[in-house]
Amino acid sequence: MALYSEKVMEHFTNPRNVGKIEDADGVGEVGNAKCGDIMKIYLKIENDIITDVKFNTFGCGSAIASSSMATELIKGKPLSQALELTNKAVAEALDGLPAHKMHCSVLAEEAIRSAIKNYYDKNGIAYDKTQFPEPHDEEEEHFSEED
Ligand code: FES
């Protein structure tokens, strides 16, 4: 089997929703300390629905494909559903990622979460803090394997 699925390659070469939303309602930026990759997500939100989403990812192909897929999965969805999006769901929607690239999909989950938190904070909206754990860092289990 090829290392990367056709979907990963397709989203990497033709990523959806790339860019920036100038008047975004929520912006989230996360990075992975080990690989140095950075992902930024911009959300437009109306009545708790994500009406638009864009991303900028300075990172590897899997991170770009994960951002692209994740934005597709949350566009038009309620915030509650976007908050439930896991990195595993992103990886599954991409027909899988190699084990040592799973951490790239974690960035997408965390960037979305961080953008939603930013929206809540900016608007003084109360939220359940347990839904926003601190982003992963350092000793990611996925890094136990050599790249
Ligand atoms: Fe860093 Fe993929 S996000 S290697």
Would you list the domain boundaries of the chain?
6-122
pLDDT digits (tens, 9 = 90+) for 82-97: 999 999 999 999 999 9
Mean per-residue pLDDT of the chain: 92
pLDDT of residue 134: 76
Taking alpha carbons only, the member of 143, 88, 75 closest to residue 115 is 75
Q: What pLDDT does residue 145 have? A: 46
Contact 89, 133 (CB under 8 A): no
Greatest C-alpha distance within the chain: 49
- Nearest-atom index, ligand 1, CA of 35: 1
Q: What is the pLDDT of residue 137?
A: 58
Q: Whose CA is nearest to atom 3 of ligand 1?
A: 104
Q: Which CATH architecture has domain 6-122?
A: Alpha-Beta Complex (3.90)
Q: Which residue has the higher pLDDT, 133 or 54?
A: 54
Cα 25 to ligand 1 centre (Å): 27
pLDDT at site 131:
84
- Catalytic residue, from 50, 104, 108, 116: name it: 104
Q: Is the pTM of this model over 0.85?
A: yes
**Main-chain phi, psi angles of 13, to 5 degrees:** -80, -20
- Check residue 147 and give its pLDDT: 47
Asked if the model's pLDDT at residue 106 lies above 60, the reply is yes
Angle of the 6-13 helix axis to the 61-74 helix axis, nearest 10 = 90
Residue 39 Cβ inside 6 Å of ligand 1? The answer reads: no
The whole-number pLDDT of residue 1 equals 56
Distance (Å, rounded) from C-alpha 143 to C-alpha 75? 30
* pLDDT of 144 strictly over 70: no
